[in-house]
C-alpha cells in the first residue's frame, strides 16, 4: 500500500510537470521514521524501476526546487529544477487553467439558463453536469500542479 501510494504520487508529479520519461531524478524522503526508512530500503529496486528515480536518500528538509508529495508521516521530494524549464511549465499550466476555466464558465452559463435546462433532453443536461464536475476536478489538479511548479522555482 505504501509502495503503491509512493509510486503513484511520483508518477503523477512527473506527468503533471512534463518530466521527460527518460529523465531520472533522485528521490529524497524528508521526515521519515525508522519504519519508512526500512520500507524504502526494502523496496528500493522497485521504487527506482517503477517511479523512474535514481538514488533514494533521506534528508532533514526538502531540497530547493523539488516537487513534494506527502506519504504518511514523510514527504517524498523530487528535485526537478534541472529536469524541466520551470518558467515554461508554469506558463503552460496557467494557459491550461485559463482554458479549463473558460469551459467551466461556458457550461455553468448553459446550465444556468432555465430554458435550456427545461427544454434539453435529460441526458444532455446530465452530461453537461458531469462534464462540469470533471472540469472542476481537472482545474483543481492543474492548480495543484502549478503550485508545485512555482514552489520548485
DSSP, residue by residue, the chain: -HHHHHHHHHHHHHHHTT--TT--EEEEEES--HHHHHHHHHTHHHHHHHHTEEEEEEESSPPTTEEEEEETTEEEEEE-TTTS-HHHHHHHHHHHHHHHHHHHHHHHHHHH-HHHHHHS-HHHHHHHHHHHHHHHHHHHHHHHHHHHHHHH-
Total structural domains within the chain: 2
Does one domain contain both 74 and 95? no
User: What would the pLDDT profile of 1-38 be if each residue is shown by its tens digit?
Assistant: 899 999 999 998 888 888 888 889 899 999 999 999 99
State the pLDDT at residue 144: 82
pLDDT tens-digit series, residues 121-145: 999 999 999 999 999 988 988 888 7
Q: 30 CB contacts (<8 Å, ≥6 apart)?
A: 58, 59, 60, 61, 62, 68, 74, 75, 76, 77
Q: Indicate if 90 and 140 belong to the same structural domain.
A: yes
Residue where a domain stops, chosen among 59, 79, 99: 79
Residue with cell 448553459: 110
pLDDT value of residue 76: 92
DSSP-derived letter for residue 153 is: -
Instruction: Name residues whose C-beta falls within 8 Å of residue 89's C-beta, 6 or more positions apart in sequence.
Output: 17, 18, 149
**Distance, CA of 148 to CA of 40 (rounded, Å):** 23
Shared domain check, 140 and 119: yes
Whole-prediction pTM = 0.64
Task: Identify the pLDDT of residue 34.
Answer: 95
Q: State residue 13's pLDDT score.
A: 86
Question: Final residue of a domain: which of 62, 79, 96?
Answer: 79
Do 45 and 96 lie in one domain? The reply is: no
pLDDT of amino acid 153: 67
The pLDDT tens digits of the residues spanning 34-92 come to 999 999 999 999 999 999 999 999 999 888 778 888 888 889 998 887 787 778 878 88
Amino acid at each position: 500500500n505504501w509502495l503503491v501510494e509512493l509510486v503513484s504520487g511520483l508518477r503523477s508529479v512527473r506527468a503533471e510537470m512534463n518530466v521527460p520519461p527518460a529523465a531520472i531524478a533522485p528521490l529524497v524522503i524528508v521526515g521519515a521514521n525508522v519504519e519508512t526508512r526500512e520500507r524504502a530500503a526494502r523496496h528500493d529496486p522497485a521504487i527506482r524501476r517503477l517511479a523512474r528515480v535514481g538514488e533514494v536518500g533521506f534528508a532533514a528538509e526538502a531540497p530547493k526546487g523539488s516537487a513534494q508529495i506527502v506519504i504518511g508521516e514523510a514527504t517524498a521530494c523530487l528535485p526537478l529544477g534541472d529536469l524541466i524549464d520551470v518558467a515554461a511549465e508554469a506558463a503552460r499550466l496557467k494557459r491550461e487553467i485559463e482554458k479549463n476555466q473558460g469551459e467551466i464558465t461556458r457550461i455553468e452559463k448553459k446550465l444556468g439558463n432555465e430554458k435550456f435546462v427545461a427544454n434539453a433532453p435529460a441526458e444532455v443536461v446530465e452530461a453537461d453536469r458531469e462534464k462540469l464536475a470533471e472540469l472542476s476536478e481537472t482545474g483543481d489538479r492543474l492548480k495543484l500542479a502549478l503550485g508545485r511548479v512555482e514552489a520548485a522555482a
